């Protein structure tokens, strides 16, 4: 099976602090892979390195067999990245924002309209799509940003805490969008400290703590191995 992401012995230092301590894992093409753990475990650092936004200290990271350092431009052509604290231009309407982004990925007007229509479909903002982003709730903004990340149909979508701060209903909508997109061939790498959410979404997961991978497997495999009721329980037992 094709490897969407291949990470070997990844180290990342910030001055005298080692955020990633030689982690290794692979993500298969077409799967939803979750990187889960507590705050400051190294999740966002890992995602930012894969997204070519942060330099690694040592090790190797490849996206569809392209090195993130030597072939960063090629990698960027294949991915979209949604940071946890991403924002949209508040003085634009939702439609104007999606149109603004779409033009960067379209060779002509026909292609731009196709991307824009996909974004509008994903955002599901109804009449609010013509209102300024500054008037949107956090949930509406997050849905708009997820639409921006997925409307270009990347080969790899990197999502950092995609439902952070959202209520139960909005979180379920976001999860459904992610699941549906993965079923159409997009590989998804997401991070979360919400382990029950990742258990619902992901084909496989990696548990990370203090910059180290402590376990990798399917939710079912890990629950069986640790005789646990859920992934939260697995994680607690794994780090003990």
List, for residues 9-44, the tens digit of each pLDDT value: 999 999 899 999 999 999 999 999 999 888 888 999
In a domain, residue 179? The reply is: yes
Q: How confident is the model at residue 149 (pLDDT cuts 50, 70, 90)?
A: very high
Backbone phi and psi for residue 186, each to the nearest 5 degrees, phi listed first: -80, 130
In a domain, residue 15? The reply is: yes
In a domain, residue 36? The reply is: yes
- Asked if pLDDT for residue 223 goes beyond 90, the answer is yes
Q: How far apart are CA 103 and CA 112, in angstroms?
A: 6
In a domain, residue 30? The reply is: yes
- Asked if pLDDT for residue 85 goes beyond 80, the answer is no
Helices in 9-71 by DSSP H: which ranges? 43-50
Q: How far apart are CA 203 and CA 207, in angstroms?
A: 13
| Selection from 71, 68, 16 nearest residue 189 by Cα | 68
Average pLDDT of the residues in 129-158: 91
In a domain, residue 180? The reply is: yes
Total domains in the fold of the chain: 1
Range(s) of the domain holding residue 224 = 3-86+154-239
Average pLDDT over the chain reads: 91
Q: 94: Cβ–Cβ under 8 A, 6 or more apart, which residues? A: 88, 123, 125, 128, 129, 130, 131, 133, 136, 140, 144
| Selection from 207, 211, 208 nearest residue 223 by Cα | 207
In a domain, residue 99? The reply is: no
Contact 123, 88 (CB under 8 A): no
Q: 58: Cβ–Cβ under 8 A, 6 or more apart, which residues? A: 9, 10, 11
pTM over 0.85: yes
In a domain, residue 128? The reply is: no
Percent residues over pLDDT 90 in the chain: 63
In a domain, residue 94? The reply is: no
């Amino acid at each position: 099976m094709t490897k969407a992401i291949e990470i070997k012995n990844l180290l990342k230092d910030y001055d005298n602090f080692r955020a990633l301590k030689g982690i290794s894992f692979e993500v298969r093409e077409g799967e939803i892979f979750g990187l889960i753990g507590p705050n400051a475990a190294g999740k966002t650092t890992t995602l930012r390195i894969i997204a070519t936004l942060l330099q690694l200290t040592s090790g190797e990271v490849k996206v569809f067999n392209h090195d993130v350092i030597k072939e960063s431009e090629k990698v960027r052509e294949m991915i979209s990245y949604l940071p946890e604290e991403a924002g949209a231009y508040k003085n634009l309407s939702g439609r104007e924002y999606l149109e603004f982004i779409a033009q960067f990925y379209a060779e002509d007007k026909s292609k731009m309209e196709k991307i824009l229509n996909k974004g509008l479909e994903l955002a599901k903002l109804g009449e609010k799509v013509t209102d300024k982003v500054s008037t949107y709730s956090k949930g509406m903004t997050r849905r708009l940003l997820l639409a921006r990340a997925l409307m270009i149909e990347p080969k790899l979508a990197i999502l950092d805490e995609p439902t952070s701060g959202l209520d139960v209903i909005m979180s379920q909508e976001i999860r459904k969008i992610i699941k549906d997109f993965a079923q159409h061939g997009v590989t998804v790498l997401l991070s979360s400290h919400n382990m029950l959410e990742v258990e619902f979404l992901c084909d496989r997961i990696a548990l990370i703590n203090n910059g180290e991978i402590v376990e990798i497997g399917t939710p079912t495999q890990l629950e069986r191995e640790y005789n646990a009721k859920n992934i939260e329980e697995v994680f607690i037992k794994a780090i003990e």
